[in-house]
Amino acid sequence: MKMNGNAIRPGNIIEHQGRLWRATKIQHTQPGKGGAYLQVELKDIRDGTKLNERFRSSETVERVRLDQKENQFLYSDGDAYTFMDNETYEQITLDQDLIGEDAVRFLQDGMTVIVESYENSPIGVTLPEKVTLAVAEADAMVKGQTASSSYKPAVLENGVDVLVPPHIEAGTKIVVSTADGSYVERAKD
């Protein structure tokens, strides 16, 4: 589907220079001389290379629609991760590079994820926004620390380091953002 160059938004997938790119950052620029343009940071979907490109409103780009299907994470074997389609029960195995090193840390058995594919070829996995994990280790609370903006380091059951409020102790279940691995809230039982 064609769209104007200045209509690109973060998260859009476009076809440019014969490759698929995800727009990660955009910035509208209107110089004092000449026409306005959109500065877009693009990330190649397949190999992760980045490209900065300028698009003017007169240019058109091809926006790509990805097929998205719910899949359930089954198991991992080394760097290979196996998922099952929730409708057809077909299994697919994806490489860690395709999923992303940061995302792999938050995969849990039975977790429902979205597998994105283009022309029946998987190109990415989207995790839920938040996951609930138990704190494996947490530093002891220091007396006199205020609860306002003081956080302490902790290690989650999956080995991820996170900063948590002082009242969180080992064994406590917390909700963590999968986007950046940050503490969101204490899990409600």
| DSSP secondary structure, 81-146, as one string | EEEEETTT--EEEEEHHHH-HHHHTT--TT-EEEEEEETTEEEEEE--SEEEEEEEEEPPPPTT--
- Whether this model's pTM surpasses 0.75: no
Mean pLDDT of the chain: 86
* Structural domains in the chain, sorted by start: 2-63 (2.30.30.30), 67-126 (2.40.50.140), 130-186 (2.40.50.140)
Report helix, strand or coil for 46.
Answer: coil
Average pLDDT over residues 122-138: 88
Query: How much of the chain exceeds pLDDT 70, in percent?
Result: 95
Average pLDDT over residues 88-111: 86
CA-closest candidate to residue 154, choices 166, 139, 174: 139
Q: For residue 141, is pLDDT > 60?
A: yes
Query: How much of the chain exceeds pLDDT 90, in percent?
Result: 23
Cβ pair 133, 154 in contact under 8 A: no
Distance between CA atoms of residues 102 and 180, nearest Å: 8
Distance between CA atoms of residues 140 and 160, nearest Å: 18
Instruction: Return the pLDDT at 168.
Output: 86
Average pLDDT over residues 73-99: 90
